Structure 1
Amino acid sequence: MDKLGVHTAILSPPPMSSASCGEENRTEASRSWMMLKVVSHHTERSSASMTSPSLRYIGSLAEIAFSLDVLGADGVALISCYGDGFSAKYVADDTYDPIWQELNRRRAVVFLHGAQTPSSTPYPHPWLGLPISEVPNETYKAAAQLVVSGKKRHFSNVNIILAHLGGSTPFLAARVAALSHHMGCPLTPGEIIEDFKSFYYETALSAHETTLTAMATFVPLDRLLFGTDFPAVSTKTVEWYTENLEGYFANKPLDLANVMRNNALMLFPNLGKTKVERQPITDHMDTSLASNSTTNHNAL
């Protein structure tokens, strides 16, 4: 954080797949991770962590309440789908409506990360593993499902941050708009694009002139948040992406400040408060990130 000039970070747990953590163990694991973070919360430079509950109905509602109300978490971290193989369900499945209803009631912030889900075929090269070849598309599939199912606009109080500039989302949104409507989605192409624009997008492992130029034509600047993916990647890797980001906005210092800090403070107001001023979340999300502020999630 010192080397990159990061003042405050929100940490999220690594996205766990069902293969690496059974459904019944995931809630316990997320609470243990949160408790560890809270116990070690001895500096104002790290905000309370996000939690990654399983989406088992009753257990998840209890875990969300515990994390937000008792531990004072800043939000909820979810992966794109839960379950194994053909039994897996993506986050907008009707099964999970009680979860979204509760998050919507709380006006929660959700950090959505693609699951480490293997393809049905081997990845093409040892240097093109799951984090490169599959995770970005998992993020896209979850985001697209939220949009075409109508859940994104139905649960509009939930502020959803997509990891890694949404993975392949910005580049496939127009394809979804036309073809999903053609295949029966009641939303018009314009409405589908509008809902894709309503996500927040963070820059971890994604900031480059090409991607940032695309994002500038896709969403308003206030939808971009700085992210690093540290410590899952090296400081050197984070520096490369951060330099790309700073170079892109080199002649736009206000825009750079907004992406690095101000947009996060608008989404997480508690980040601008001292530890004494911060209160556990009760009825709705009113929390904290920020300079540079970073969604500093712990997984590729």
Structure 2
Amino acid sequence: MDTSSNRIDIHHHFFPSSLSRHVGFRTPPENLPWSADISLCAMDSLAIGLAILSLPAGVAETFDEAKNANKLMYEIVQQHQNRFAFWGSLGDWRDVKGALELIPYVFDELGAVGVAVSSSYGDGSEAKYIGDDEYDPIWSALDARGAIVFVHGTQTPSTTPIPHPTLGLPITAVPHETFKAAAHLVVSGKTRRFSRLEFILAHMGGSTLALIPRVAGLSSYMGAPLSENEIIYEFRRYWWDAALSGGCEARVVESWGLGDRVLWGSDFPAVSLDTIRWFDCDLEKAYQADPSKLENVHRRNVLRLFESRGITAALSSGPS
């Protein structure tokens, strides 16, 4: 591992003390109960200068819970200058009024670098993906700010929620939920309508990369308002978070000519340091012929994104 790199980790979770979810996945016991100090130790081990905190998808969904979680993340940022930033939470988007009220709070009062959103809100047949027209007022308010939006798949059970004890929702459901949200935003015309937004897809978009041609060909055939080439163009506007992703995904992104839109993430504390290093080793193999591209993934790409939005939180990140 290249410990000389001062990485920016865009996918680093804030785990509230009240977090208790049963999704068929075991958070490393050494990471619980989570604290900023646990993350700082991990960050030093992984050569992470700055970690951008976000709530796990589906956590703190009421207005009061979201407001309190934002405040707690802000306090961590203040207590550890230049080591943390955070993605704001707008709670459950079905409470459109509440989400709209939280936008100026997280940006203007607390200084969030952007917002983290779940792929959908609600359960079962009542769930609505983030491209739903109901959420247009939220998208409009975020678009007016030219916000960065970090999209993370929800841990939504399918008809067979956990096919095997080692295949919990974070493994089998989250990657596909991210894809469904990304595809919905494209074919509904939301990425084009709210064009000032920048979208980052967690975990290299989950299954998105493999399914872009399928969406382009079949959704256009089914009456989507965009042509095949227009759909592909909109997918190419996404940014790709490399958390828990390896060389295979990196090579696909490179083949699309999108290597300058890959950002590094760890997904700590949901996974162990050894797991992060395993994915890292595979990712490094994809860039071994051009180490400068790996440095771009580790830091420069996100700095370029932030600078384009006037965000200075990460520009002097990390220990001197």
Matched, 1:286 2:311: yes
2:58 to 16, 21, 31: 16
Cα offset, 1:83, TM superposition: 1.1
- Structure 2 unmatched runs, 5+: 1-42
SS at match of 1:251: coil
Matched, 1:257 2:295: yes
Distance 2:315 2:275 in 1: 20
Cα separation, partners in 2 of 1:12 and 1:225, compared to 1, 3 Å: same
Distance 2:172 2:85 in 1: 31
| Equivalent residues of 1:222, 1:258 under 8 A apart | yes
The alignment's TM-score, normalised by the length of structure 2, stands at: 0.81
Amino acid at match of 1:262: R
Q: What residue is the counterpart of 1:68 in the other structure? A: 107
Amino acid at match of 1:43: H
1:67-110 deviation per Cα after TM superposition (whole angstroms, max 9, x unaligned):
01000011100000001221110001000000000110000000
Q: What residue is the counterpart of 1:297 in the other structure? A: none
The alignment's TM-score, normalised by the length of structure 1, stands at: 0.86
- Structure 1 unmatched runs, 5+: 271-283, 294-300
| Equivalent residues of 1:13, 1:30 under 8 A apart | no
Amino acid at match of 2:259: L
Cα offset, 1:124, TM superposition: 1.4
Cα separation, partners in 2 of 1:113 and 1:219, compared to 1, 3 Å: farther
Distance 1:47 1:116 in 2: 25
Cα offset, 1:51, TM superposition: 1.8
1:38 to 60, 74, 96: 74
How do residues 265-280 of structure 1 correspond to structure 2 at under 5 angstroms? 265-269=303-307
How do residues 58-97 of structure 1 correspond to structure 2 at under 5 angstroms? 58-97=97-136
Matched, 1:173 2:212: yes
Distance 1:210 1:291 in 2: 32
1:147 to 153, 176, 186: 186
| Equivalent residues of 2:203, 2:240 under 8 A apart | yes
Q: Which deviates more from structure 2 when the two are superposed, residues 180-189 or residues 36-45?
A: 36-45
Q: Which deviates more from structure 2 when the two are superposed, residues 119-128 or residues 35-44?
A: 35-44
Cα separation, partners in 2 of 1:291 and 1:173, compared to 1, 3 Å: farther
Cα separation, partners in 2 of 1:258 and 1:196, compared to 1, 3 Å: same
Matched, 1:222 2:268: no
User: Once the two structures are aligned, what percentage of the paired residues are identical?
Assistant: 46
Amino acid at match of 1:106: R
Matched, 1:235 2:277: no
Cα separation, partners in 2 of 1:97 and 1:116, compared to 1, 3 Å: same
